Structure 1
Amino acid sequence: MTVAGVCVLLVNDHLLKQAWPGFVTGKLSDVAGLVVAPALLALLFLRRADLAATVLTGVLFALVKSTETGAEAASQAWTLVAGPSRVLADPTDLLALPALALAWWVRGRSLRAPSPKWRVVAAMPLTVLAVAATSAVQLPAAESVEVDGDRIVVHVADGLDQVSHNGGATWSAAAGHEPATGLKSLQSAACVPMQATRCYRVVPERIAVEQSDDGGRTWQPSWELSGDDRERLRRTHSGGHEHLSMALAAQARPGGHVVVVANGLDGIVVRDVQGTWRRVGWPGQAAERAATVNVSLERNVALFLAACLLFGGVGAGLREFHRVYTGFAVLACLGPFAMVAEAALAGQDGFGLVVLGWVMATLGTLVCGVLAFAGRARPVTAVVGVVGAPLVYAAVYLPFRGWARGAPDTYEVAVAIAAVLTAVVLVAGAALIRQDAGRPGA
């Protein structure tokens, strides 16, 4: 039944949601997930604890779907597991909670006809792939700007329009309406009211704005997205979207003027009365639907290096089965490597590599775990591998996760931080293993 639920997740999230997005396919994912989750969560307990797993599943699901804090925590946790992810709080999803009763019924049947635990374990990689489906929700895109008295309205496709009454300092969502006739064709350039010599225009095929101080006869750069910000934007929307400034409008304000730019999928950019450009992005609830920066390549490299340290540390202390262990350790380490290759195939179908990677990693890990006990691995080296692996993962991945959020601002700094932190962990681990190998009787 667990496998059947996983199959429902795969078909629904990867096929049906794309063809028929809506209430039914959205809730079907929640129902199937609630049926599958308790059985998998129970594996975390030392003894069979079906009731605890079922209750915990319901509590966590309720927190994630009913609170913004829970949804954000789930987004961060799932990003670490399956790459950039966005989990949205939606109280209507709580309608799926009765599916836990079905999970409990399945548990009753499994007690009468118990299934080997390895079947549930083997289903875990497939489950991760199933629930890591790309959401069918359309992303918002700022398409045009309209000045209406003291209001500035940014018209948003597939989302609520954004309205500001204070020159772009703050924004609020409003029901969308069609912009004035011909507005889109006129908004690629605008002059400041009562100051006709100062004009602005979006740069064709770029994410940039130029300004003119002579009524449009000559132009010079006023604002442009930095190289690192362009890379973040490319990674955020890697499906062939065009990244360019689409429209702008100027508004006279006390002390000067403001300029508001509709930047498509990137959201809103504002020039304030002091002349400072500020990248607003998506304010308020619109940010919930905005995609996150894709650092899956760096995440998979972190997984690969963590796996190498884990299996290398445990294997360094084996007393038997060295060759067999090494072979399956290589297989397990090549699993994340296959997913690294998938991440490098941006824009191509790498789903088969993901499946292959999970199968290799799962099979190699299970066999190496058995051989570690059978081969009487030394405790110190095993601890180095088990403790050092997550440290290496964090050392490699977290700097790039910070870069995705703008701190550090440049990719080169993130690379340097990751290299230094990883070197510290590896040197410390190697020193501990060497020290243990020199002990009498080792």
Structure 2
Amino acid sequence: MRNSALAWIGHPLTVISVVVLLLNDHLFKPLWSGVVTGKLSDVVGLIVAPPLINLLIRRPWPAILLTGAAFTLVKTTAEGAALASQAWTLVWGPSRVLADPTDLIALPALYAAWWACNHPDARAVRLARTVIVIPLTVLAVAATSQTGYSGPYSAYAVDVVDGMIVVATRGGSEPRPAGTRFASGDAGNTWSSSELAAPSLPRTSACVPGRPDHCYRTVATRLKVEESRNGRWVTAWEISPQDQDRLVRAYAPERPEDAEAVASLAVAVQKLPGGYVVVVANGADGIALRDVSGVWRRLGWTEKGFDASGAVPLTAPGKYDDSVSTAALLAALAAGLVALGCGVRRPGFAVAALTLWVGAGLFYSGVNPPALFNPVAVLLAMVLVPAGVTSVIVSAARGGTPLRAWVIGTATAVIVYYAIMTPFYAWSAGWLGYYALASGLSIALGIATASAGALAVIKTGRPPEGSSRGPRDR
């Protein structure tokens, strides 16, 4: 029974699922948060959880049924999600599990777990392999529920109340609590926290009082306001799509689900003796203000309220997340190991390389960002990285790996890193217009350079065993 339990958790399908879960939650989700990465965690999590539970109860069928029942309860009821959140908080620190019935689409993955249980791999019971897989499995399952911190403030509605311009906000953290309202009684020149009633819903259009033919409206998903003139709408103020794309990254939250729009969400007009002012709620970017002279300004977030000094300059370098360079480092390490492995050609090298790579991934995920320091991940990394480095060197040395394979493998790692990062450098400097374009080029260049490195080792590699050799080779 013991070997059966170890064989299940050490099955190649389980091991692959553990690696995918770690990659998805620590790299892919921060970079490309969305439906695909969210559902992928559910699928591989349902493959990984049953063999882990089976280690405790030693009953495969009940382990699978328990996993399915718990998953269904958590995803379909608020009580189940709350209970799961409390459980993860006790063992893993502040965590939040969300109820989402659409996640039940992942339940067929339990069949894959059952298939792995009934098709054991004899090599999976090896002690060294199991010692590595079990702690990684626990870490991967726990990490999928870990949460981050609050996102940026977002101005989502604006109105004129008792002669005061009132902007409603949400999100944020100390020193201003979530839901703070800011008001101005001097045409938007100064702002302060206010207890005035906040606008109930964002209004996307507003007219100058007394002039129903002169109105302003926001443009969906854009930092843009249009003005009605002579029966037609014309642009009154806008930020270019390229600059808006850069601002989206500047206000990126630490937790993807807290992401707020960087777009014009609501507009209000206040009539004054000398004319009128227009105030636009621009989400995480703050507000845009048209003064009585017709000049538009962006006002960003400060401790005292809205002010031009708090607006992110459009000429500032584009800000990409630290996880980009982390992903590039891990991809470069993987590319270098794959290229070297093409020269080593030993099965044991693959296991050693995977151990080293996962250890490096755990280290980076455990220390970046510092606010989310994960001592468990760092502790595991301190075990896996030295073991992986030693195993890689020993495996390569026993295989008589030629020097050129080491040189090409090292060069591949360096080149892949800069191939991945160069598009982001170009985007940050303003040479590429959109972050998505930089991401696409980064992936393409990374794959191309990694493939070139592996092919270079294969083409210049040693003759296969059993082939004829010249006198100098004997």
TM-score, normalisation: structure 2: 0.42
Query: Could you say which structure has the larger radius of gyration?
Result: 2
